[in-house]
Each structure stands twice: as C-alpha cells, then as structure tokens.
C-alpha cells in the first residue's frame, strides 16, 4: 500500500509540469492578440440570392485542444466538430422561409489533415504546417443559394454557441442590402441583422 502512495506524486508530476507550461504558453500567445481562445470571427455576405459565410476560430473553441489529435477521444472530438460544421443551417439559424440550400462548403484545419482532407494548393499546405506549430485554427467556408433572400433578415448563432460552448464571443462582419456592419455576438446576444 505504502509503495503505491509513494508512486502517486510522481505520476502526477508530468501533468503539473504540462499544465504550468501550457498556462505560460497561453499568456505568451494571448499577448499577441491575434489568436484568442473563446473568440472567433465570422464574415457573412448576402449578395442577391447568394449567401457566403466564413467562420474562423481557434481549434480550442471547437474541439477543446489544438494539438494534432492522437488519442481516440481526440479524434472523435475532431470528427464530431467536423460533422457539426458540415450541417451549417442549424449553426447559423437560417430561417426556413429564406429557402437557403448549401451549395458548397470547405472545412480547413491542420487537425483535419490525415482525415482524407485533400489540399489542392501545395503552398497553402506549407503555410498550414508552420501555422500548426503555434496554433491550430479551423476555417469553415460556406456558400448558400437562397430561394427567398429577402426572408433572410438575420443570422442567429445560438446553434453555434450551443454546439461549441468553448466559443464565448464571435466578431461578426455582415454585408447585406443595407451595407456593412460589424457586431460582437455572444450566447446571450446571438443575433446579427443584415
């Protein structure tokens, strides 16, 4: 019994060291201001019947980590996040009356590499590689065709905040018939009008 107790503190040590290192790491990155956990960016443009939406987020917000997924649990989280991102109608609260159908979607992240995610652009791939050593981002780009675009008065990101609770605020840029506007959205204030 005694031996087991002695071994315990050592088993915990690498975890502590890691956690301390991780915190230090974060303090360092956050001071750069570019990659802030809990914060994401969303650009949406409604042009005629075409709606383009682009979401850029630190992977931490969507899957809870930024390293390449190694364990089965990590891989499952990445696959789940990907599945949710592949069903954007629910994430962006597009009103049924607008009749928006997803014409095209593109998901990009170093975390999706090796999941049969192909890159057309070699140069872009290199950029991802060195990006990965610092942070992993997830980029999602969607192209919708809306049958009744005038019914699309707003985006409601409640579904997105619910699906990815690690996301606390989204800086949104909307461009629509009334011009361009920037607004910060949160789970309490998830709607942005065009």
DSSP string for residues in 180-192: EEEEEEESSS-EE
Q: How far, in Å, are 8, 125, 130 from residue 61 at the CA level?
A: 32, 22, 20
Better-scored residue on pLDDT, 131 or 71: 71
For the chain, how many structural domains are there in total?
2
Supply the pLDDT for residue 134.
Answer: 56
Beta strands 39-47 and 169-176 are: parallel
Q: What percent of the chain has pLDDT over 90?
A: 65
pLDDT digits (tens, 9 = 90+) for 7-25: 544 554 444 444 444 444 4
> Is the pLDDT confidence value at 189 over 80?
yes
Same domain for 71 and 13: no
The model's confidence at residue 186, banded by pLDDT at 50, 70 and 90, is: very high
Radius of gyration over alpha carbons of the chain, in Å?
Answer: 20
In this predicted model, what pLDDT tens digit does every residue of 73-110 receive, in sequence order? 999 999 999 999 999 988 999 999 999 999 999 999 99
Give yes or no: residues 93 and 153 share one domain. yes
Query: 0.85 exceeded by the pTM?
Result: no
Q: Are residues 25 and 40 in the same domain?
A: no
Residue 107, token pair as written in the block: 């998901």
CA–CA distances in Å: residue 149 to residues 59, 192, 194? 31, 15, 11
Nearest to 174 by CA among 158, 192, 156: 192
Asked if residue 63 and residue 108 are part of one domain, the reply reads yes
Which secondary structure element, helix H or strand E, spans residue 116, and what is its range?
none
The reply to whether 108 and 145 lie within a common domain is: yes
Same domain (yes/no): 26, 47? no
Range 39-52 average pLDDT? 97
> From CA 190, how far away is CA 179, in angstroms rounded?
20
Answer yes or no: do 69 and 125 share one domain: yes
In which band, very low, low, confident or very high, does the pLDDT at 36 lie, cut at 50, 70 and 90?
Answer: confident
139 and 184 assigned to the same domain:
yes
* Domain limits for position 11: 1-31
Angstrom distance (rounded) from CA 87 to CA 101? 11
Same domain, 18 and 68: no
| Rounded alpha-carbon distances, angstroms, from residue 80 to 56, 103, 128, 163 | 17, 21, 22, 10
pLDDT value of position 102: 97
- Please check whether residues 6 and 98 belong to one and the same domain: no
How much is the mean pLDDT over the chain?
81
Are both 25 and 70 inside the same structural domain?
no
15 and 98 together in one domain? no
């Amino acid at each position: 019994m005694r031996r087991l107790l002695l071994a315990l503190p050592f088993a915990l040590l690498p975890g502590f060291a890691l956690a301390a290192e991780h915190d230090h790491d974060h303090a360092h990155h956050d001071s750069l201001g570019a990659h802030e956990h809990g914060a994401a960016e969303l650009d949406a443009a409604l042009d005629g019947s075409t709606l383009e939406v682009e979401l850029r987020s630190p992977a931490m917000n969507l899957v809870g980590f930024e390293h390449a997924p190694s364990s089965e649990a990590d891989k499952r989280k990445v696959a789940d996040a990907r599945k949710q991102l592949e069903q954007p109608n629910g994430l962006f609260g597009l009103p049924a009356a607008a009749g928006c159908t997803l014409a095209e979607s593109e998901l990009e992240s170093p975390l999706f590499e090796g999941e049969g995610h192909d890159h057309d652009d070699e140069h872009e791939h290199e950029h991802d590689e060195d990006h990965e050593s610092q942070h992993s981002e997830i980029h999602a780009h969607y192209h919708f065709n809306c049958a009744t675009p005038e019914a699309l008065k707003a985006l409601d990101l409640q579904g997105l905040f619910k699906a990815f609770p690690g996301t606390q605020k989204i800086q949104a840029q909307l461009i629509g018939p009334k011009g361009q506007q920037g607004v910060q959205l949160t789970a309490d204030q998830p709607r942005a009008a065009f």
